Amino acid sequence: MAAHAFANPVFDAQRVFRAAMNALSRPGTLQTLDCDIAPPASLPAELAALALTLADHETPLWLDATLAGSREVTDYLRFHTGTPITANPREAHFALVSDPALCPSLHSFARGTPDYPDRSTTMFVHTSRISVGDGLILSGPGIRGTATMSIDPLPPAFAREWIANRALFPCGVDVLFTANGMVTGLPRTTMMEAR
């Protein structure tokens, strides 16, 4: 079947946004990404949904090596969102990572400035499995007490880099992890430790 974007752009984008909003405001929970899209084979549908919902001509997008190397993927994203695709992670508003192993260091992305901490990259990372319970202990705004969460696999050295990212607050990057039609959020405020 040919690649297509949202069947119903207004309502699909609204549902995906609410999932992303709930994910970021309630770390440690899973939100369902519910929409009808068919992106090119190498672009996970979850990442495509988030990109179609949030990216446009104002938001340079960074792609990992697999995605950037696929003409279908870049054509699809350019056609449906009008987003400029950048090779420089520092100027990216959004970053799409289709495989955690391909995720560069968090430090390579924009982290904002003390005056404008919002001028940072939001990363969408697709992984194999996300589930509530086990693995990571999360705390911070959006979480009552602590929450437990398993993200498998995490990008290399992520746990260590996340501590450094947290220390940059109010600067830093935010990450949304996706897997199996679900999304979970890791805003820069979340403290994370392995159990």
Partner 1 sequence: MNEHAQATGYNFAYLDEQTKRMIRRAILKGIAIPGYQVPFASREMPMPYGWGTGGVQVTAAILGPDDVLKVIDQGSDDTTNAVSIRKFFARTAGVATTTKTVEATVIQTRHRVPETALRSDQVLVYQVPIPEPLRYLEPRETETRKLHALGEYGLMHVKLYEDIARHGHVATTYAYPVEVAGRYVMDPSPVPKFDNPKIDDCEALQLFGAGREKRIYAVPPHTKVRSLDFEDHPFRVQTFKDPCALCAAEGVYLDEVVLDDRGGRMFVCSDTDYCEERREAGHRGHLAGDDPLSPVGRGRVAEGDRVREEHKSDSASPSPRPSPHRGEGEEALP
Amino acid code (one letter) for 128: S
Q: Applying CB under 8 A, which of residues 38, 170, 180, 191 lies at the interface with partner 1?
A: 170
Residue 38 three-state SS: strand
Which residue from 37, 41, 171, 36 is spatially nearest to 98, judged by alpha carbons?
A: 41
Q: Using DSSP bridges, classify how beta strands 61-63 and 94-97 pair: parallel, antiparallel or unpaired.
A: parallel
Strand partners, 146: 139
- Which among 41-49, 62-70, 134-142, 155-163 is the span making contact with partner 1, rule CB under 8 A? 134-142
Q: Is 68 in the site for partner 1 (CB under 8 A)?
A: no
Query: To the nearest whole angstrom, how small is the minimum distance from the Cβ of residue 71 to partner 1?
Result: 25
The rounded distance, in Å, linking the Cα atoms of 27 and 143 is: 6
111 near partner 1, rule: CB under 8 A: no
Establish if 189 lies at the interface with partner 1 (CB under 8 A).
yes
Single residue of 15, 80, 111, 126 touching partner 1 by CB under 8 A = 15
SS3 135: strand
The distance of closest approach from Cβ of residue 175 to partner 1 in the complex, given in angstroms and rounded to an integer, is 10
Determine, following the binding rule CB under 8 A, whether residue 194 of this chain makes contact with partner 1: no
